[in-house]
Structure 1
Amino acid sequence: MKHYGKTLLALGVLALTACQSAGKPDAAAAGADAQNDTCGASQYQSYVGKPLSAVSSLHFDTPVRAIPWNSAVTMDFNLHRLNFLADKSDTITQVYCG
Structure 2
Amino acid sequence: MKLYAKILLPAAMFALSACNSPSSHNSAAQPVDTENDRCGAAQYQNYIGKPLSSLETVKFATPVRAIPHNGAVTMDFNLNRLNFQGDVSGKISRVYCG
Q: How many residues align?
A: 69
Task: Report the alpha carbon displacement of residue 35 of structure 1 after superposing the two structures with TM.
Answer: 2.3
**How large is the Cα RMSD of the aligned pairs?**
1.4
Partner residue, 2:50: 50
The alpha-carbon distance between structure 1 residues 53 and 96, as it changes in their structure 2 partners (threshold 3 A), is: same
Counterpart of 1:73, as a letter, is V
Higher helix share: 1
How many angstroms apart in 2 are the aligned matches of 1:85 and 1:59? 18
Task: Report the alpha carbon displacement of residue 32 of structure 1 after superposing the two structures with TM.
Answer: 7.4
Partner residue, 2:85: 85
How many angstroms apart in 2 are the aligned matches of 1:47 and 1:31? 19
Percentage of identical aligned residues: 62
Partner residue, 2:38: 38
In structure 1, list runs of 5 or more residues that go unmatched: 1-29
Task: Report the alpha carbon displacement of residue 36 of structure 1 after superposing the two structures with TM.
Answer: 1.3
- The structure with the larger Rg is 2
Q: Which runs of 4 or more aligned residues in structure 1 lie more than 4 Å from their structure 2 counterparts after TM superposition?
A: none
Counterpart of 2:80, as a letter, is H
